Amino acid sequence: MNILVLGGGTFGTAIANELSVNTENNVVLFSRSQKKVDEINIYHTNKSCFPNKHLTKFLSATSDKNEIKKADVVFIALPSTVIIENLLILQSYFNEEALFVNLSKGLFAQGVTVVESIEENLGITNIVTLKGPSFAVEVMEHADTLLTLGYSTNHQYEIINAIIKNTSLHIDCTTDIRGVEVLSVLKNIYALILGVVDAKYNSPNTRFMILTKAFSEVRILLRSLGGSEDTLFLSCGFGDLCMTSLNDLSRNRTLGLLIGKGFFSADYKSNSVILEGLNAVNLVHSFPLDHVSESLPLLNKLHEFFDSKESILSIEFDKLIDRKFKTVLTYGTFDLLHYGHLEILRRASLLGDKLIVGISTDEFNELKGKTCVLPYQKRKELLESLDYVDKVIPEDNWAQKVTDIQKNNIDIFVMGNDWEGKFDELKEFCKVLYFPRTKGISTTKLKTILKEDD
């Protein structure tokens, strides 16, 4: 298998070196620096990245763009800030059949991931992502390392599995490519706050209290940004969050330690590590987070700190940690359950800890002049099968909402914005929100389509 690694930095070098341990791989490291290429080929070192390490004799390097054409698999280990412009320059040299593996971490405006940006700007669809708890220096030491492969097809999985054979690299897998990409950025934010806490308090109790809260916030953000909650329990999630937050080799944790010790300077424009952490916090904080921002006190605290340019980050645990259990309530008919229903239920579930859904009974639908394809019991069973939904209750009449709110200790009432203003009287009892409906999807439209197909 001909493998090309784009990027002669620390992680690109480490991965290329480890992949070359598998002698069935022909691994070439591509660098624009002829000096670095000559050093790797002659001395088997890359001293600018690893001053005291030797590379395997099986790894070669090149600056010749024509070598790119031979690659069956292209690993991308470039800084996310320059990744697209560099790939566009090299685009004409890529093999049309090549599989691309993204190692780079970052998010762009509107939450676009590196993989999504590559797909959009270069039209590349045969691409996977590989992320996880992996310090480059450890990979160079051949330490056993678990990474998460975000992939689309079994063929892609088989290629990566073959490539890592007989190396110290191992993989767990998911088809949630977006989730893997998002988590690679989120963990840096919370590594920063863990560094602050360890510097200020040096207490295992306090450290793991904040880590628990960080894990909760990452879960909320992951779901809000379109990732799957299950991805959080893979190497790219729990593993990477813990390693980056608790190990002093982490740059973002180190930044947190400096802030916690009071060594942070408001004049940070020339410090790339500070800017990396600042940019991640500001970018994620700028996303439209579906009314969940109040459930992200750690993120909000970091954003407030950087925005104020203060030198000391003060922590009030009562405000950051203590919170009331929240229950959310919504209503609907939920006939012909579709993506629009799932989306509003998903977003509603993010607002609290428990989601209760009231669905119209068959008798109530008759009073409203509504005909359902599915009877109440079937609609109830469908909703109960969803992870988003914790409890389903019957809706028998228009007037029961106040009673339901009081009986179930509801904190937030949610409906689609086609009901905007019609339930404002419930604000006396709980918070009331109206979500935008999913465009182009409705039960009525689906029923019309089904009738046309009959």
Please answer whether residues 78 and 7 qualify as being in contact, where contact means their C-beta atoms are separated by less than 8 angstroms.
Answer: yes
Q: Name the catalytic one among 35, 370, 422, 445.
A: 370
Whole-number Å distance between alpha carbons of 178 and 231 = 10
The H-or-E segment that residue 216 falls in is helix 204-224
> Is 368 tagged catalytic?
yes
Q: Name the catalytic one among 35, 309, 368, 427.
A: 368
DSSP, residue by residue, 387-435? TT-SEEEEE--GGGHHHHHHHTT-SEEEEEGGGTTTTGGGGGTSEEEEE
Q: How big, in percent rounded to 5, are the helix, strand and coil portions of the chain?
A: 50, 15, 35
> Is 57 tagged catalytic?
no
Q: How far is CA 104 from CA 178, 410, 417, in A?
A: 13, 43, 39
Place of tokens 């998460």: 148
2-6 β-sheet, strand order: 60-62, 26-30, 2-6, 73-76, 99-102, 127-131, 145-150, 169-174
The H-or-E segment that residue 146 falls in is strand 145-150
Residues with a catalytic annotation lie at 368, 370
